[in-house]
Structure 1
Amino acid sequence: MRAITVSPGREAPLEVCELADPEPGSGEMLVQGLALGVCGTDREVLAGGHGALPEGQERLVLGHESLGRVRWAPEGSGFTAGDLAVGVVRRPDPVPCGACARGEFDMCRNGRFTERGIKGADGYGAQEWVVEPEYAVRLDPRLERVGVLAEPASVVAKAWEQIERIGGRSWFDPQRVLVTGAGPIGLLAALLGKRRGLDVHVLDRHTDGPKPAVVGDLGAEYHTGDIERVMSDLVPDIVVEATGAARPVFEALAGTSPYGVVCLTGVSPSGRRITVDAGSLNRDIVLENDAVVGSVNANLRHYRQAAEYLAAADAAWLERIITRRVPVERAVDAFDRNADDIKPIVALDPSAE
Structure 2
Amino acid sequence: MRAITVTPGQADSVRLVHDHPEPPAEEGAVLVEALAVGVCGTDQEIIGGHYGEPVPGTDTLVLGHESLGRVLEDPSGKLEPGDLVAGIVRHPDPVPCPNCAVDEWDMCRNGQYTEHGIKGLPGFARDRWRIEPKYAVRLDPSLGEVGVLLEPTSVVAKAWDHIDRIGARATWEPRTALVTGAGPIGLLAALLAVQHGLTVHVLDRATEGRKPELVRALGATYHNGTVADLDLDPDVLLECTGAPPVVLDAMCEVGPNGIVCLTGVSSGGRTIDFDAGALNRALVLENNVVFGSVNANRRHWELAARALNEADPDWLASMITRRVPVEEYADAYAPTGDDIKVVVDFTR
TM bucket, shorter chain: over 0.9
Q: In structure 2, which of residues 280, 284, 303 is the aligned counterpart of residue 286 of structure 1? A: 284
Match of 2:302 in 1: 304
Residue 192 (structure 2) pairs with residue 192 (structure 1): yes
Match of 1:91 in 2: 91
* CA distance in 1: counterparts of 2:289 and 2:11, whole angstroms: 45
| RMSD of aligned residue pairs (Cα, Å) | 1.1
List structure 1 runs of 4+ shifted beyond 3 angstroms.
8-12, 23-27
Match of 1:75 in 2: 76
* CA distance in 2: counterparts of 1:14 and 1:256, whole angstroms: 41
Specify the code of the residue in structure 1 equivalent to 2:76.
E
* CA distance in 2: counterparts of 1:324 and 1:299, whole angstroms: 28
Pair 182,138 (structure 1): closer, same or farther in 2 beyond 3 Å: same
Helix, strand or coil: the match of 2:142?
A: helix
Match of 1:318 in 2: 316
Specify the code of the residue in structure 1 equivalent to 2:21.
A
Match of 1:63 in 2: 64
Match of 2:37 in 1: 36
Residues 257-276 of structure 1 aligned to structure 2 (within 5 Å): 257-276=255-274
Alignment check: 8 A CA contact 2:52 2:119 kept = yes
Residues 1-353 of structure 1 aligned to structure 2 (within 5 Å): 1-10=1-10, 12-18=12-18, 19-25=20-26, 28-76=29-77, 78-230=78-230, 232=231, 234-350=232-348
* CA distance in 2: counterparts of 1:117 and 1:341, whole angstroms: 21
* CA distance in 2: counterparts of 1:59 and 1:15, whole angstroms: 11
Pair 325,312 (structure 1): closer, same or farther in 2 beyond 3 Å: same
TM-score in terms of structure 2 length: 0.98
* CA distance in 2: counterparts of 1:188 and 1:270, whole angstroms: 26
Report the Cα offset of residue 62 of structure 1: 0.5
Per-residue CA deviation, residues 198-219 of structure 1 (Å, 9 max, x unaligned), is 0000000000221000110111
Report the Cα offset of residue 272 of structure 1: 1.3
* CA distance in 2: counterparts of 1:121 and 1:26, whole angstroms: 9
Unaligned runs of 5+ in 1: none
Per-residue CA deviation, residues 175-227 of structure 1 (Å, 9 max, x unaligned), is 00000000010000000000011000000000022100011011100001222
Q: Which moved more, 1:299-308 or 1:43-52?
A: 43-52
Pair 27,244 (structure 1): closer, same or farther in 2 beyond 3 Å: closer
* CA distance in 2: counterparts of 1:22 and 1:50, whole angstroms: 24
Alignment check: 8 A CA contact 2:9 2:52 kept = no
* CA distance in 2: counterparts of 1:256 and 1:83, whole angstroms: 43
Report the Cα offset of residue 74 of structure 1: 1.3
Alignment check: 8 A CA contact 1:23 1:30 kept = no
* CA distance in 1: counterparts of 2:161 and 2:129, whole angstroms: 30
State the number of aligned residues: 347
Report the Cα offset of residue 55 of structure 1: 1.1
Report the Cα offset of residue 26 of structure 1: 8.2
Specify the code of the residue in structure 1 equivalent to 2:250.
A
